[in-house]
Structure 1
Amino acid sequence: MTDLLIKPSKLSGTVNIPPSKSMAHRAIIAACLAKGKSVIDNIDLSDDIIATIEGMKAFGAEIEILDVGTRKRLVIEGVWKNETSEKRVIDANESGSTLRFFIPIATLFEGETRFVGRGKLGSRPMDTYEKIFNEQGLLFKTSGTPELDLTVSGRLSAGRYEMAGNVSSQFITGLLFTLPLLAGDSVIAITTELESIGYLELTLEVLREFGISVTFNEMERRFEIPGNQSYHAHDYTVEGDYSQAAFFLSAGALGNDVAVTGLKSDSNQGDKGIMGILEQLGAEMKVEGDTVTASAPNGLNGDVVIDGAQVPDIIPVSALVASLSAGETRIINLKRLRIKESDRLEATKEELAKLGADIRVVGEELHITGVPGLKGDATGWSHKDHRMAMMLAIASTVSEKDIVIKDAEYVSKSYPTFWQEFEALGGQVSEWNLGK
């Protein structure tokens, strides 16, 4: 385990943001479900993406990884070329996307699929799928231990699926990948207000690119899915990741001079919402082509309400900016932060409070009173959560004194080059302690 000492220093320069992890997961899966060869460009081999690559290989896909500059290119031959064994083991590591996308997909193949993983993945809710599998008489067997150990088998049936809209959109995406390949037509009816719609729009975008037709009836909250479809091989380039850009755009709003390149201005990524959040807090956003900068020449001002329901991944760094914005900021609808890699609701409060922020958890909200500056001089903890580690790094740029970040290596889950990028921009990082 790596503990890093971060000395306060301003960041300056340009960062070419890594490809979207959300889009990469989806493009890899769609290419692997197609007959023929696809090429997926602009890939970063984060831990989560490696889990998806290895998982699709277990289903029979052939995936060649090529170096193209600082990124990777994947040449993919779909799963249908090779017959898989009747039993396969898929290591989802700590990737909720890999696990939840793959569970319905596993029903397309003969035999049993066993899913293993680590961290908090085994404790993240799975009852949505368990109910579906039980109703259809399919195997859904857990080990009963805290670690993920789940075995599934059997074939899903086409038909009507009813799902609450306030559960993870990953369940819906898993079904959207799978149901078009079944013999009959299907409907996914959403029974409550639909959260994380941005992630589902990403899924529909990738499905269209690979030849799959799904209609979303927004008025009736229904996904209408014709059966007997097939994925078409397709070359695809993954766009830049607004989830990761959020950290450096927030750094700009806090007084650092950082330009972020590689972003698609008309992206459907939900975490593009960071731009609106920063504007709510008084920042000015400048967009020129694929480059975005944030600044706050007139200072940051709270006294706003930020809705976190659609953007749970960018709430920790948004809370950091709010902590340095004058007035009272409320960030609401944060229930889902509790079931991420850490309990991000409590972790965000705990870590920012260590640095001198005035922040409280009230039910499922964060209430933040802006302070003039952060003191630092504290040992923060990533909570083994990539987004907490990166938030603390950005906090160091506006702290009076040093910060130690424990378990800083967890950035590799989504952004393996984060610390190199941080140092290239002027961040002062040194290894404080290397534990066992």
Structure 2
Amino acid sequence: MADLKVYTSKLEGSVKVPPSKSMAHRAIICASLSDGKSKINNIDYSDDIIATIEGMRSLGANIIQDNDSLEIDGIYSSTVGKREERVIDCNESGSTLRFLIPISLLVPGKSKFIGRGNLGKRPLNTYYEIFDKQGIEYSYEEENLNLNIEGRLKGGEFYVKGNVSSQFITGLLFTLPLLKEDSKIIITTDMESKGYIDLTLSAMKDFGVEIINNDYKEFIIKGNQKYISRKYRVEGDYSQGAFFLCANALGNNIEVQDLSLNSLQGDKEVVDILERMGVKFINSENGIKNEVSNIINSTIIDGSQCPDIIPVLAATASLAKGRTEIINAGRLRIKECDRLAAVNSELSKLGVNIIEKEDGLIIDGVDSLEGGIEVWSHKDHRIAMTLAIVATRCKNPIIIKDYECIAKSYPKFFEDYKMLGGKVDEWNVGK
């Protein structure tokens, strides 16, 4: 594992963020469920996207990679998915796992899901309850992803909690329109991460499948629908763009290309949150940028709709004037690491005043950060990139341990960071 020494610097210039990982997952799946050939443009081959590509190949899609595009023949155009057994390696991608579990029940035979890191700790009870009701055979190991399932999903009514993970709902939304029967998904709690559901419904509509959304309380799904193959371009990723938008709030000056203020991405919430903190956004020719401000203010941040951008927002709040509260963020504890604990641990080392709560953080902003110490990514890509952004405001360099975990979502992050004027040195390589 490698460590990186990151020096104090000001980031300036323009950066084209990677394509939206959330949208790429969805486009690849919709194309793979189509009966015909699709072309998906603007693909970045992060570990998570590779996991979904390989997973859909295992289920029968023929996928050809060509630079930053994919040509996809759907599973109904081939015989690969007719194999009696298949292994789907999700690596560390929770989206791949939860999206593909119900999809795997569209094809005959056994499916074995494996993965790495903390993926085996991600709860799957929502699906197990459905399997029990429908007589679908399954077995799994505690704390380790080794899930075996066999059976065919049947339509009907599905009662699903909306405050565990929207990924379960998305997985069902992808699958149920292809069944013979009509179906209904009934949400039994308040819905969190509505933006991700919007992305799913938008992608499905683009590929010809219609769902009726009754105010996120129930989804009405006609059976016997078909996905229609097409050309599709993936837009820039707000989850990754958030790092640079927050960097601007901390005094850097970056134009973030390929982002739209009209995007449906849930993590576009970063714009609203930063505006509440006093940041002003302007459209540029190729994307958006913020007006540089010397003072940002505290606010209340609801993490229920945008959990992935909470670490970098917490870092931004650490240098804001006043007390910021992050609420409804308990799900961050079951990501690639316990992100609430990780943010508390690493920002506290840098001199930030943080109180960690069960489902959030209380952050009293400070005027400056000393640096001059080692911090740890917790092998979590979003923690590693957050610490790199914080380094721009540290008086002394910091060393980020295990920084290469960025490959999970943004493999070229430090190339872009250096292109913008960031100064880094690989510090140490261990085993």
TM-score (norm 1): 0.97
Aligned partner of residue 264 in structure 1, secondary structure: coil
The letter of the residue matching 1:341 is E
Give per-residue Cα distances to partners, 1:187-216, cap 9 Å, x unaligned: 000011110000000000000000001010
- Residue 18 of structure 1: how far off its partner (Å): 0.6
Match of 1:242 in 2: 238
Aligned partner of residue 267 in structure 1, secondary structure: coil
Give per-residue Cα distances to partners, 1:371-428, cap 9 Å, x unaligned: 0011111111111110000000000000001110011000010001101000111111
Q: Please, which runs of 5 or more residues in structure 2 have no aligned partner?
A: none
- Distance, in Å, in 2 between the alignment partners of 1:342 and 1:201 is 26
- Residue 21 of structure 1: how far off its partner (Å): 0.1
The alignment status of 1:429 with 2:396, answered yes or no, reads no
The alignment status of 1:131 with 2:129, answered yes or no, reads yes
Match of 1:114 in 2: 112
Pairing of 1:387-406 with structure 2 (within 5 A): 387-406=382-401
Asked if the contact 2:255–2:284 (Cα under 8 Å) also holds between the matched residues in 1, the reply is no
- Distance, in Å, in 2 between the alignment partners of 1:124 and 1:77 is 31
Give per-residue Cα distances to partners, 1:246-295, cap 9 Å, x unaligned: 00000011001111000122111010000111111121211235411124
- Distance, in Å, in 1 between the alignment partners of 2:154 and 2:382 is 37
Taking structure 1 as reference, are residues 159 and 79 closer, same or farther at Cα in structure 2, changes over 3 Å only? same
The alignment status of 1:202 with 2:206, answered yes or no, reads no
Match of 1:308 in 2: 303
Taking structure 1 as reference, are residues 161 and 290 closer, same or farther at Cα in structure 2, changes over 3 Å only? farther
Q: Please, which runs of 5 or more residues in structure 1 have no aligned partner?
A: none
The alignment status of 1:269 with 2:247, answered yes or no, reads no
- Distance, in Å, in 2 between the alignment partners of 1:297 and 1:400 is 19
- Residue 147 of structure 1: how far off its partner (Å): 2.3
Aligned partner of residue 91 in structure 2, secondary structure: coil
Match of 1:82 in 2: 78
The alignment status of 1:155 with 2:145, answered yes or no, reads no
The letter of the residue matching 1:230 is K
Aligned partner of residue 427 in structure 1, secondary structure: coil
The alignment status of 1:420 with 2:415, answered yes or no, reads yes
Match of 1:229 in 2: 225
Asked if the contact 2:251–2:294 (Cα under 8 Å) also holds between the matched residues in 1, the reply is no
Moved over 4 A (4+): none
The letter of the residue matching 1:14 is S
Asked if the contact 1:282–1:298 (Cα under 8 Å) also holds between the matched residues in 2, the reply is no
- Distance, in Å, in 1 between the alignment partners of 2:340 and 2:253 is 29
Task: Indicate the larger mover: 292-301 or 128-137.
Answer: 292-301
Asked if the contact 2:93–2:119 (Cα under 8 Å) also holds between the matched residues in 1, the reply is yes
Pairing of 1:283-298 with structure 2 (within 5 A): 283-297=279-293
Asked if the contact 2:332–2:338 (Cα under 8 Å) also holds between the matched residues in 1, the reply is yes
The alignment status of 1:354 with 2:352, answered yes or no, reads no
Give per-residue Cα distances to partners, 1:33-80, cap 9 Å, x unaligned: 00110000000000000000011111111111112xxxx110111111
The alignment status of 1:371 with 2:369, answered yes or no, reads no
Asked if the contact 2:252–2:292 (Cα under 8 Å) also holds between the matched residues in 1, the reply is no
Aligned length: 429
- Distance, in Å, in 2 between the alignment partners of 1:180 and 1:336 is 29
The alignment status of 1:193 with 2:185, answered yes or no, reads no
Q: Kindly report the root-mean-square deviation, in angstroms, between the aligned alpha carbons of the 2 structures.
A: 1.0
- Distance, in Å, in 2 between the alignment partners of 1:396 and 1:297 is 18
- Distance, in Å, in 2 between the alignment partners of 1:64 and 1:412 is 21
The alignment status of 1:317 with 2:317, answered yes or no, reads no
The letter of the residue matching 2:322 is G
Match of 2:8 in 1: 8
Aligned partner of residue 108 in structure 2, secondary structure: coil
Asked if the contact 1:92–1:117 (Cα under 8 Å) also holds between the matched residues in 2, the reply is yes
Task: Indicate the larger mover: 366-375 or 286-295.
Answer: 286-295
Give per-residue Cα distances to partners, 1:313-363, cap 9 Å, x unaligned: 000000111110011111111111101111001101111111111111123
- Distance, in Å, in 2 between the alignment partners of 1:307 and 1:54 is 34
Aligned partner of residue 18 in structure 1, secondary structure: coil
Task: Indicate the larger mover: 285-294 or 109-118.
Answer: 285-294
The alignment status of 1:31 with 2:31, answered yes or no, reads yes
Task: Indicate the larger mover: 370-379 or 200-209.
Answer: 370-379
- Distance, in Å, in 2 between the alignment partners of 1:386 and 1:362 is 23
Asked if the contact 2:184–2:219 (Cα under 8 Å) also holds between the matched residues in 1, the reply is yes
Pairing of 1:320-335 with structure 2 (within 5 A): 320-335=315-330
Asked if the contact 1:250–1:294 (Cα under 8 Å) also holds between the matched residues in 2, the reply is no
The letter of the residue matching 1:313 is D
- Distance, in Å, in 2 between the alignment partners of 1:297 and 1:143 is 51
Aligned partner of residue 420 in structure 1, secondary structure: helix
Match of 1:279 in 2: 275
The alignment status of 1:213 with 2:210, answered yes or no, reads yes
TM-score (norm 2): 0.98
- Residue 88 of structure 1: how far off its partner (Å): 0.1
